[in-house]
Structure 1
Amino acid sequence: MKLTKQILGIVALGAMALTQTACQSDSDFLKEHSYKQDDSGMFNSENEVAMAINSCYKEVNYLVLGQTHGYHSYMLTGVGLDTYTENNNNDCFSNWTKLNSANGYSRHWYNELYYLVNYANTAIYAIETKDIKYSTDEKKNELLGEARFMRGWAFRMLAGMFGNVPYLDQPTKKIEMGYKPNTRQEVWEKCYDDFKFAAQNMSKTERKQGCVTRAAADHMLAEICLALGKFDEAIQATSRVIGGQDGDYHLMTTRFGTEASRATDRYGHSLAADKGGAYWDLFATPDNGSGNTNQDYGVTGNKEALWTSQFSVGNYTEGGSGDAWWRMRNNTMEGDFMSNKVRNCGTNRTDNGVKFYLFGDDAMCYPAGVQGGSSSLGVSTSAIAAGRYQANNTRDSIGGGYAYGSNRNWPCRYIFDPQEPGYIWAKATDPAQPGKADFRCSETMMQSDWYTPGGTKWSVQYKYAKDREKAHPGNSAYALTAGDTLDIFPRFWKFSQDKHPNGDVKECEYEPYMIRIAETYLLRAEAYLAKGDKQKAADDINVIRDRANAPRCSAAEVDIDYILDERTRELFGEEHRCITLNRLSVNPNCGSYVTSKYPTQDEKTSNTLYERVRKYGMSWNNATDQVNADFGREKITYTKNDGSKGIRFIPNIKPYNYQQPIPDDVIKSNSGAEYPQNYGY
């Protein structure tokens, strides 16, 4: 679809030809030769077909992780929506007026997803048209199912992001300027066909580490069935995964993996299985980097991963997608989600001389006894990092941002602030269910308390600053102003480890889950809710809550908002949130289980995604009233859970933002057929 890339390819081929002919004699040049460089000379064996499918995984990994993490990497998991946002209040997912048809983020996903479509179609074409000898009678359809899964996943993404897109079922071999878009409904129906074939034919065990299996196909089939209103089929597909018909997958409820022997985290919090420790194991990464997220069942015993974005095998010393840098820095995913600074700390200082660094000395220190030359500061005196040289990164004396270390993604307030209406952990404990405490919001998984190098909790320091302000009324030197807001975001340990491995710049990344069976339970719960069976929906939700040692929910509590909140509790930063909210928006197939909560569903007035973002999306209180007014953010006063008054600026999202704009260059280059722009753009 990109003429520029095709033209560049022609230029490159011409240059190669000139280079070759310049080295030939006149007689050699005049000889006729036959060069077969098209795909007819490729993909003629089982291994070559598998290599073609491997290109699909390469493209998925690029989309999920990117060469470097930018906001485009986080569009999939919902940056700017109702769970987390970017730390820049004037980018396209914080200032929605900037999201337009010339936006590079949207164009990136549109182009790359069609590359994925073409990779998948190339493999499908080879399997269906070539006389290839396979190792077993089943292998042909297994590989075909895997390739069709990848095509279905690509179009699931395209439909969920852009709505109406051209459906292609053949590899692109020539320039085409007359693509006709299919409706989102039509694309979903094509995805249904691909995932259904995959679920019927794929192997129950992975071809190679990180490859998809039949269980992943049934999971995706169930999601598409929900989008199409095929609720019974969604229940059947999820039940095959949960019931074991698709392979040996289950929710991890006992300690497992390379860190299973650890009884506590570094702060002494229990990791006992009956308290939720198995959830911690899902994300644990030991010192050698062989993390439990791998689909490496023989080593780590992880039976919950249906699909991970797998790129690393081995340990940290082998490198990976972590950004190398001239100075010590965090793994990129870790740094993007792990809060390591006070928001808007400004020039505020404590007057008792205590300095503290919010990211924890051990996260910015070299290994014990190792001095990093001129890049090291003195030895830490912290009880946590005693004897370790501190990295020479810029930090301010009240815990401000490190140079090259500030986090990119900020959680929405209802996820971490107990006083915020809708606080999703409000029922983390329940007096009627003694002994229950949701592990997922515990200090072990979502650290809200911080420690100074001397061991003082940040909450003590914060109280000191607040008390000092009260003790000096009217004294600007002690006032905590909007520019000096002490607002600490929690550290989400699911994106890192509670002990930094070794400070090597070659460190590998956290390998993201694409699908966990926990989400499969939530898909089935949604299907039961759609059928009106709230008790069975609650039963599925409680399987997940039981693993986390959370109080059980009742059938009466279950509605689409409860399920969306439970998805956040369980899958924060993992779930493909933009796809979830899109399929629940402006979709007549959903029916009353959605419209009972969000009755208006259109691109002009209201829809599910729009209302959720307005209700829970980031409030840019750190920006001035004038800036918020200029951006069109509505200022409201509301009552907090403790009865105090709060001020909030509602995100300036519009109903049509439930889908992305069609890239302008796609529409312009498609001169042979009309390709309408999505409404509002």
Structure 2
Amino acid sequence: MKNIISILIMTLIFLVGCDSFLEEENKSNVTAEEFYVTVEGYSALVNANYAALREIYGDFAWMFSAGTDMYSEGRDQEPVGLSRYVNLNASSEGVDHLYKTCYVAIQRANTGLYYADITESTDDLAQLVGELKFLRAHAYFLLVQSYGGVPLITEFIAEAITEFDRNSTEDVYVQIFTDLNEALSVVSTSAYDGRVNQRAVQFLLAKAHLTRAYESFAASTDFSDAANYADAAIAGQALDIPFGELWTPNNEMNAETIFSVQFDEGSISADPGKLGNRQQNFFGSYTGGPEVAGDAPYKSYNLCPNRFALSLFEQGDDRWEGTFMTTVYDRYFDYFDEADHSTLNAAQFYAPSWYTTADSLAFRATQPTATYREFGTYDPEGADISGNWATIIVKKFDDPTSLFGAVGDEGRVSKRDIIIGRLADAYLVAAEAYLGAGDATTGLARLNVVRARANVADATAGEFDLDYILDERGRELLGEYHRWFDLKRTGKLVERASAHHMFIEISNFAGNGGELKILRPIPQAAIDLNQNKDFAQNPAYN
């Protein structure tokens, strides 16, 4: 494994394409120092910063979703440390993912900020600097939530450095807010086009303030600041796109998207198994994959929604049909490819919790050959996971035009964008922030905007608390790479994961010295390569 604590110089790797952003390549023999001081070269360098997001989000989703209250493994085992907290240690599979990818992103940002002082001046240079500061803050925000205090590296490193100190969690938040506040005044105020704009900065400021608000060193205004920034990101915009339409393939750049990781066919076609993303691979049982000639997506049988997640939905909630593939037709992708479903033959049907005997009989009468699966028989706890289609599938991320590569469709073959910030999330951040700030009435109003779009009744003041917000986030954001951070932020990880994950007991979280395994361990390779032998591991793993 590459040295993940010594941040190495990135040269030609910076020139890797990033969607439509990167339209020029350095095909000459000029050095980085010569290239990055040109308009073309600096643009390529900034675009490489966006490409770093693909490595953070495009591969395995364990650090975002595993080991939570909503997802569990099906037939294929997830990394046991991250999924069950059993034998979780500094060498466990997957614990280094964000450490590696976020520090690559930070070094790219630092390089871009260094060259900003010596590159050719352009009218948009200040804006590009703001984008880089946002991207650096984003990487540090993922790191500090996952590992706590980490080394703060804010300067361009031209030579490998093998000795680092560990900064405090508080210091890292100070740097995050410094970068975001400096970015806020210089980035574009235009509508989102794939690049960082003011709304994206406001959204990340809201999340960062909300997250710090639960820390012992929180500022007294963090909850209210989070509410104000969330409202600024909302900017009075209504949730008026039907939930299912939000997730129509190729509609990721809709008016409710605040920030996303960009992919497209042209940029991944050279090696679709490595350049696309895996988001569609998770959240459901195996479908047959390439052996059914591309008629169904590959599903890894990992991160399957559990019974608790499925039970969060009530009758009439548009998010049930918008999230899950409740009816699988003979050809899976006909759901997307055929406008009229009335003449299609159903192969699988997953009945919701509210189906009555009459509902069941009515469906069976119209689709007598379909495999009818009662609620409670198609989640990881109740399904016969030895076969295909045994657990319900999340369809939100399906890509009917996946570019299957030589490695098979289990690779990173999706070319759909990964949405990491959207309007409904801003409303829910505002709801949580207002509650924390002592204004439950306004918080409830923000949450009920989300429920109204879903076509369900308003929550009441008596229901509105932190657990209700987490349930609502579960319904609205299922599969969207937020859940572990939501539970860790709110202090609910141990309680809710042990209550709802079939393989997690409270005792699984017990670490060394009576500490709980909530923060992830600093990767062992990073500790081994660091010449500073006083660099401390997180207490639960000492």
TM range (shorter): 0.7 to 0.9
Note the C-alpha offset of 1:212: 1.7
Provide, for residues 579-636 of structure 1, a one-character-per-residue CA deviation record: whole Å limited to 9, x for no partner. 3333333xxxxxxxxxxxxxxxxxxxxxx2111211122x15xxxxxxxxxxxx65xx
Match of 2:121 in 1: 133
Q: Which one of the candidate residues 509, 521, 526 is aligned to 1:666?
A: 526
Note the C-alpha offset of 1:50: 2.6
| SS of aligned partner of 1:44 | coil
| SS of aligned partner of 1:130 | coil
Q: Which one of the candidate residues 275, 280, 289 is aligned to 1:334?
A: 280
Note the C-alpha offset of 1:243: 1.6
Distance 2:473 2:271 in 1: 27
User: Aligned pair in 2 of structure 1 residues 96, 504: CA closer, same or farther (>3 Å)?
Assistant: closer
Q: Where do residues 97-108 of structure 1 align in structure 2 (5 Å cutoff)?
A: 97-108=86-97
State the identity %. 25
Provide, for residues 164-222 of structure 1, a one-character-per-residue CA deviation record: whole Å limited to 9, x for no partner. 20111101222323311111121012101111111222102379x42221111110011
Q: CA RMSD in A?
A: 3.9
Q: Do the aligned residues in 2 keep the contact of 1:614 with 1:653 (CA within 8 Å)?
A: no
Note the C-alpha offset of 1:509: 3.2
Paired AA for residue 64 in structure 1:
Y
Match of 1:292 in 2: 251
Match of 2:536 in 1: 676
Q: Do the aligned residues in 2 keep the contact of 1:78 with 1:576 (CA within 8 Å)?
A: yes
Provide, for residues 640-671 of structure 1, a one-character-per-residue CA deviation record: whole Å limited to 9, x for no partner. xxxxxxxxxx7834463221111112222222
Match of 1:308 in 2: 260
Q: Do the aligned residues in 2 keep the contact of 1:177 with 1:673 (CA within 8 Å)?
A: no
| SS of aligned partner of 2:280 | helix
User: Aligned pair in 2 of structure 1 residues 8, 120: CA closer, same or farther (>3 Å)?
Assistant: closer
User: Aligned pair in 2 of structure 1 residues 532, 253: CA closer, same or farther (>3 Å)?
Assistant: same
Q: Where do residues 19-418 of structure 1 align in structure 2 (5 Å cutoff)?
A: 40-66=33-59, 73-87=60-74, 88=77, 91-127=80-116, 129-130=117-118, 132-134=120-122, 136=123, 139-205=124-190, 209-229=193-213, 230-243=222-235, 250-254=237-241, 278-285=242-249, 291-293=250-252, 295=253, 302-312=254-264, 319=269, 322-323=272-273, 332-340=278-286, 359=287, 391=293, 406-416=300-310
Distance 2:445 2:467 in 1: 17
Match of 1:567 in 2: 473
Note the C-alpha offset of 1:48: 2.7
Paired AA for residue 449 in structure 2:
V
| SS of aligned partner of 2:162 | coil
Q: Do the aligned residues in 1 keep the contact of 2:151 with 2:164 (CA within 8 Å)?
A: yes
User: Aligned pair in 2 of structure 1 residues 551, 321: CA closer, same or farther (>3 Å)?
Assistant: farther
Distance 1:481 1:575 in 2: 24
Paired AA for residue 412 in structure 1:
N
Note the C-alpha offset of 1:564: 1.2
Match of 1:424 in 2: 312
Note the C-alpha offset of 1:462: 10
User: Aligned pair in 2 of structure 1 residues 188, 582: CA closer, same or farther (>3 Å)?
Assistant: farther
Match of 2:323 in 1: 445
Question: Larger C-alpha radius of gyration, 1 or 2?
Answer: 1
Paired AA for residue 187 in structure 1:
V
Correspondence 1:489 to 2:391: yes
Note the C-alpha offset of 1:482: 7.7
TM-score between the two structures when normalised by the length of structure 1: 0.61
| SS of aligned partner of 1:672 | coil
Provide, for residues 269-299 of structure 1, a one-character-per-residue CA deviation record: whole Å limited to 9, x for no partner. xxxxxxxxx21111112xxxxx001x3xxxx
Note the C-alpha offset of 1:491: 2.0
The runs of at least 4 aligned residues of structure 1 exceeding 6 Å deviation read: 4-10, 451-454, 461-466, 480-487
Q: Gaps (5+ residues) in structure 2?
A: 11-28, 214-221, 332-344, 352-363, 375-381
Distance 2:233 2:56 in 1: 26
Distance 1:239 1:465 in 2: 42
| SS of aligned partner of 1:515 | strand
User: Aligned pair in 2 of structure 1 residues 281, 76: CA closer, same or farther (>3 Å)?
Assistant: farther
Match of 1:263 in 2: none
User: Aligned pair in 2 of structure 1 residues 522, 38: CA closer, same or farther (>3 Å)?
Assistant: same
Paired AA for residue 153 in structure 1:
H
Paired AA for residue 652 in structure 1:
N
Q: Which one of the candidate residues 412, 415, 434 is aligned to 1:528?
A: 434
Residues matched between the structures, number: 466
Distance 2:245 2:373 in 1: 37
Deviates more, 1:95-104 or 1:52-61: 95-104
Distance 1:541 1:98 in 2: 38
| SS of aligned partner of 1:58 | helix
User: Aligned pair in 2 of structure 1 residues 117, 501: CA closer, same or farther (>3 Å)?
Assistant: closer
Note the C-alpha offset of 1:4: 9.2
Provide, for residues 412-468 of structure 1, a one-character-per-residue CA deviation record: whole Å limited to 9, x for no partner. 22012xxxxxx312xx24xxxxxxx210013x53234556796476566899999xx
Distance 1:292 1:307 in 2: 14
| SS of aligned partner of 2:421 | strand
Note the C-alpha offset of 1:526: 1.0
Distance 2:30 2:388 in 1: 62
Distance 2:448 2:294 in 1: 47
Provide, for residues 365-424 of structure 1, a one-character-per-residue CA deviation record: whole Å limited to 9, x for no partner. 9xxxxxxxxx7xxxxxxxxxxxxxx6499xxxxxxxx997553321122012xxxxxx31
Paired AA for residue 43 in structure 1:
Y
Paired AA for residue 71 in structure 2:
Y
Note the C-alpha offset of 1:572: 1.0
Paired AA for residue 319 in structure 2:
R
User: Aligned pair in 2 of structure 1 residues 93, 140: CA closer, same or farther (>3 Å)?
Assistant: same
Note the C-alpha offset of 1:333: 3.3
Distance 2:264 2:35 in 1: 28
Provide, for residues 509-556 of structure 1, a one-character-per-residue CA deviation record: whole Å limited to 9, x for no partner. 332101111111111111100111111111111111111112111122
Correspondence 1:557 to 2:463: yes
Distance 1:392 1:508 in 2: 13
Paired AA for residue 141 in structure 1:
A
Distance 1:89 1:673 in 2: 32
Distance 2:233 2:384 in 1: 50
User: Aligned pair in 2 of structure 1 residues 111, 669: CA closer, same or farther (>3 Å)?
Assistant: same
Distance 1:114 1:512 in 2: 20
Note the C-alpha offset of 1:62: 1.5
